[in-house]
């Protein structure tokens, strides 16, 4: 067997172990009783150690070197070998002791953070966050040396490989300059119009579920090859032939649950469309969180808040809950679903203000990793940024620096992917509409076929064959930038 | 670190991987959509290969040898080391190629068997079963050499370690001589009485579930540390803090679903009671299928078909389904739940005729493994045995030799554990009642506390500290034999 084929067998096993770990996380969030936490933690730790051993074993390094020398690979195989090497490099960059120390520190910090957030007291979690931050910086510097990146970029590489802060500075700079003035104009326009009506409930969970399943089927989700369940926070998971998403139903408001379903279905359909010939190989997996988020937002934000889709969906929504009156008119629902209002909490933010939340976090975490900001100054810097970007001042740290789990859990470099995803979604949806004039009209008939035909060919079916920005350039004819996203916002929110 | 401590760490990892595989099986039976079968198969194959590699690595052998030389272990540690060695010996006895060939042959044969059973055509599956049998014999002989057992005993060792066919010949011989005459007398007695009334439904699944959950709670099942779900065949699974059982609800008959719940809860409470200090170690696991089955049957057969329990449960059952009339009287339910009738199908059999089904299979599979019976003669031998043991002749092989999945799936040596479990249950329940006179009266009040206190001390909390027969002797004062089981049958069915 050639060295390359041996690597394929090795990474197929790694893939199966990775899928198993992902399934254990799904079960933990959806099915597991509380008493199972200890055993589940032990199972996940064992799988993590097994993956690390398989990936960092000497034989992996030797096989990669031999495969590079032997050559004779086609382009997909070369891309696959490149992905293998990237993973091996990243895994060997950081010592097992450091990984374990960071995991322990993050668990302790995250636990304390839950109390600190409830008590709105940043100072109580600050010492633990300092430990996490110190270890993250140590890990970032170790990765940076091996990956030939800056420390911050070496962290971001885990979530959005191929994207550097040099690139993000340009894109976020553009967007950060655009948003404050644009937001003011949107707010002014919406204030001059009558407020949208709110459909009245109750919205029984069983009905919400049926409506969600109906929408999922229209989008192409196959319930013989997937599930819809409930969890505290919506997420998507699963493997080929078994795609699982979750949402959360609120009896007083069906929009949150339905948007969760649509968003997660976008994630699931990306996974479903990955290249079948490369299952269980690194090159056959989805790209980073930036592209993944573009696939959920293309559904939730681009397609499903469009007047075309809401025209189609309004009668189905009304029928699902036996509703009546003007609140269920498509025009009202469009206004309701595109309502803009600056708020303190990122996860509740609308499409226009969301990027401001992300830009703030990006600026702050870069400064923290670079040593230009101390944790003592973090809450103040947070509040200054909110004032500058959104014009509002959090009344306490619970509505400010304590709101997101990410940093307390050790995840630095993750936040940019949310807004990179929003930008990518705008660019891809625009390109799809240009490539096939029926994409949007079909969505207006509840038919997502043309959109998914285009996405399948230009995104899903390519796996990790190209880095995310090259994929975007090939698909849309232009590299990642904020222009199309800005145009989309202007058209949707200012009719301009 | 001592060699023994290193082994503990290694076997803790093996335990976590084993728990993970068990969880994947649970999910496959309870949650997984059909499309997930391929990926799930790959995940399970990877985990199986990882376990095999961990167990058979040279380092495992060296550590076992070193730990034996170093000594200094207490009795539990010695028992633990013995279990480790037993597993290592069994795993290294059979080559990976043979294991894989048997797995492939069993999958092919089991798939064909589903059609053959539907068509009641043994000859169509016979060639594939021959391949399975040949590989099973090869595997049995390889294990026999390493374990110093006969080939058949080496197969049975997988399910009921420590039990030999020499022992079973005595016990089953005794029971086989007792049953035909006893069965005739029971049939005669029951024929002379009026037939029991059948409670009328419908029995909505949701009510059956609530009733089952109520009974589970009374037995000590904690829903913060476990789940009750549905699957095609009831089973129990899970790990410490997360015990999961399933049942199946039949709208026309609540007894099947409820007895499934009680039976599987018996299994789950055994797992729950295992020694907490030895979690993740071989000595902390449950004993073989024989003892496991005794723990389900002590609940389903000994406790829950007793007049004492049915006196208590009848009003709860009646209330659950809004039933009325004499069919719900405890005396009627006792007669209904102890009705005896020879039938062709093992899984539908009552407590009296069940052992005959097992004895027949034991005789036949021993002859097959020993080369004293060919597959060509198997259906005839089956039918002759049914006539001899139960006095009935299957009209076709669908109701005969094709009914059970076991042999077609490669499982030879498993069947005896069912009846060893029934015998053990009788012995243990009798000993518990003698040790604490309140065991049965408490069950008559819906309180399983005294029974589980005794079982916890004498069975559950001992893990694999002693081989199953030694455990039984310590707990009951006598080795495994059929005497107590026969007395139990005489008392329950002939008031004698």
**Shortest CA distance from B226: residue in chain A:** A33
The reply to whether residue B39 touches residue A19, judged by beta carbons under 8 angstroms, is yes
Contact of A98 with A138, CB cutoff 8 Å: yes
For residue B1, pLDDT over 80 is answered with no
Please state the domain extents for chain B: 1-93, 151-496
pLDDT at A318: 95
pLDDT at B65: 97
Say what percent of chain B tops pLDDT 70.
100
The question of ipTM being above 0.95 is answered as: no
CA distance A463 to chain B (A): 18
What CATH number belongs to B151-496?
A: 1.10.1370.30
Mutate to test the interface with B, among A46, A221, A229 (most CBs of B within 10 A): A46
The reply to whether residue A225 touches residue B35, judged by beta carbons under 8 angstroms, is yes
pLDDT at B194: 93
Ramachandran area for residue A391 (φ above 0: left; ψ -120 to 50: alpha; else beta): left
B96 — pLDDT class (breaks 50, 70, 90) = confident
- Out of A39, A45, A224, name the one closest to residue B242 (CB): A39
Asked if B16 reaches chain A (Cβ–Cβ under 8 Å), the answer is yes
CA separation for the pair A367, A365 (Å, rounded): 5
The reply to whether residue A280 touches residue B47, judged by beta carbons under 8 angstroms, is no
Mutate to test the interface with B, among A17, A242, A285 (most CBs of B within 10 A): A242
Chain B positions touching A245 (Cβ under 8 A) are none
For residue B267, pLDDT over 80 is answered with yes
Chain A positions touching B35 (Cβ under 8 A) are 222, 224-226, 241-242
Contact of A415 with A406, CB cutoff 8 Å: yes
Asked if A222 reaches chain B (Cβ–Cβ under 8 Å), the answer is yes
B496 — pLDDT class (breaks 50, 70, 90) = confident
pLDDT at A278: 97
Size of interface A-B (CB pairs under 8 A): 116
Contact of A238 with A244, CB cutoff 8 Å: yes
Asked if B406 reaches chain A (Cβ–Cβ under 8 Å), the answer is no
Ramachandran area for residue A220 (φ above 0: left; ψ -120 to 50: alpha; else beta): left
Between the alpha carbon of residue B299 and those of residues A325, A348, B262, B291, the distances in Å are 58, 52, 6, 13
Mutate to test the interface with A, among B14, B16, B57 (most CBs of A within 10 A): B16
Chain B positions touching A239 (Cβ under 8 A) are 36, 39, 43
Asked if B225 reaches chain A (Cβ–Cβ under 8 Å), the answer is yes
CA distance B55 to chain A (A): 14
pLDDT at A256: 86
CA separation for the pair B202, B216 (Å, rounded): 22
- Out of B12, B39, B240, name the one closest to residue A239 (CB): B39
- One of B83, B264, B293, B300 is an active-site residue; which one? B264
Mean pLDDT of chain B: 96
Q: How far does chain B reach from its first CA to its final CA, in angstroms?
A: 61
Asked if B59 reaches chain A (Cβ–Cβ under 8 Å), the answer is no
CA distance A54 to chain B (A): 10
**Host H or E run for residue B229:** strand B226-230
Chain B positions touching A49 (Cβ under 8 A) are 13
Ramachandran area for residue B224 (φ above 0: left; ψ -120 to 50: alpha; else beta): alpha
Ramachandran area for residue B340 (φ above 0: left; ψ -120 to 50: alpha; else beta): beta
Pairing state between β B236-239 and B242-247: antiparallel
Known catalytic membership, residue A264: yes
pLDDT at A201: 87
Residues 265-324 of B with CB under 8 A from A: 280
B100 — pLDDT class (breaks 50, 70, 90) = confident
Chain A positions touching B20 (Cβ under 8 A) are 20, 24, 43, 46-47
CA distance A412 to chain B (A): 30
Between the alpha carbon of residue B114 and those of residues B126, B127, B232, the distances in Å are 13, 15, 15
- Provide DSSP, A147-174: HTS-HHHHHHTTTSTT--HHHHHHHHHH
Asked if A239 reaches chain B (Cβ–Cβ under 8 Å), the answer is yes
B375: tokens are: 């597959």
pLDDT at B97: 87
Measured CA angle at A258 (ends B39, A446), to 5 deg: 85
Residues lower than pLDDT 50 in chain A: none
pLDDT digits (tens, 9 = 90+) for B205-241: 999 999 999 999 999 999 999 999 999 889 999 999 9
**Shortest CA distance from B229: residue in chain A:** A31
A477: tokens are: 């004819």
pLDDT at A35: 95
- One of A110, A264, A293, A469 is an active-site residue; which one? A264
pLDDT at B233: 87
Chain A positions touching B40 (Cβ under 8 A) are 242
Q: Tell whether domain A105-201+261-496 is in CATH 3.90.1150.10.
A: no
pLDDT at A100: 86
pLDDT digits (tens, 9 = 90+) for B279-319: 999 999 999 999 999 999 999 999 999 999 999 999 999 99
């Amino acid at each position: 067997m050639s060295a390359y084929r041996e690597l394929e067998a090795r990474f197929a096993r790694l893939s199966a172990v990775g899928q198993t770990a992902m399934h254990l996380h799904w079960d933990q969030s959806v099915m597991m009783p509380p008493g199972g936490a200890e055993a589940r933690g032990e199972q996940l730790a064992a799988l993590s150690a097994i993956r690390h051993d398989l990936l960092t074993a000497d034989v992996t390094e030797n096989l990669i070197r031999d495969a590079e020398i032997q050559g004779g690979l086609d382009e997909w195989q070369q891309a696959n070998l490149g992905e293998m090497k990237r993973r091996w490099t990243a895994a060997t960059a950081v010592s097992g002791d450091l990984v374990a120390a960071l995991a322990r520190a993050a668990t302790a910090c995250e636990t304390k953070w839950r109390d600190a957030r409830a008590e709105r007291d940043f100072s109580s979690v600050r010492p633990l966050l300092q430990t996490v931050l110190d270890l993250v910086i140590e890990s970032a510097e170790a990765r940076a040396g091996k990956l030939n990146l800056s420390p911050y970029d070496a962290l971001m590489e885990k979530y959005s490989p191929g994207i550097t802060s040099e690139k993000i500075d340009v894109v976020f700079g553009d967007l950060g300059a655009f948003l404050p003035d644009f937001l003011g104009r949107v707010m002014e326009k919406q204030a001059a119009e009558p407020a949208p009506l709110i459909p009245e409930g109750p919205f029984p969970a069983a009905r919400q579920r049926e409506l969600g399943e109906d929408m999922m089927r229209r989008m192409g989700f196959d319930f013989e090859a997937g599930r819809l369940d409930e969890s505290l926070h919506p997420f998507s998971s699963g493997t080929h032939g078994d795609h699982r998403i979750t949402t959360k139903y609120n009896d007083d408001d069906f929009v949150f649950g339905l948007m969760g379903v649509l968003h997660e279905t976008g994630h699931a359909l990306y996974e479903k469309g990955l290249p079948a010939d490369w299952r269980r190989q690194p090159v056959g997996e989805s790209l980073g969180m930036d592209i993944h988020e573009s696939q959920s937002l293309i559904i939730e934000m681009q397609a499903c808040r469009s007047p075309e889709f809401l025209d189609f969906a309004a009668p189905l929504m009304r029928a699902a809950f036996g509703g009546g009156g003007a609140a269920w008119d498509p025009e009202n629902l469009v206004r309701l679903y595109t309502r803009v209002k600056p708020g303190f909490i990122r996860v509740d933010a609308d499409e226009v203000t969301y990027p401001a939340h992300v830009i703030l976090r990006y600026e702050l975490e870069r400064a923290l990793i670079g040593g230009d900001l101390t944790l003592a100054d973090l809450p103040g810097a947070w509040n200054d940024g909110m004032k500058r970007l959104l014009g509002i001042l959090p009344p306490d740290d619970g509505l400010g620096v304590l709101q997101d789990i990410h940093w307390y859990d050790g995840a630095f470099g993750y936040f940019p992917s949310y807004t990179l995803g929003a930008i990518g979604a705008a660019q891809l949806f625009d390109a799809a509409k240009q490539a096939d004039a029926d994409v949007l009209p079909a969505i207006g008939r509840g038919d997502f076929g043309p959109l998914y035909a285009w996405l399948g060919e230009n995104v899903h079916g390519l796996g990790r064959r190209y880095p995310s920005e090259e994929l975007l350039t090939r698909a849309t004819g232009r590299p990642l930038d904020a222009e199309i996203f800005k145009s989309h916002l202007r058209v949707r929110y200012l009719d301009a």
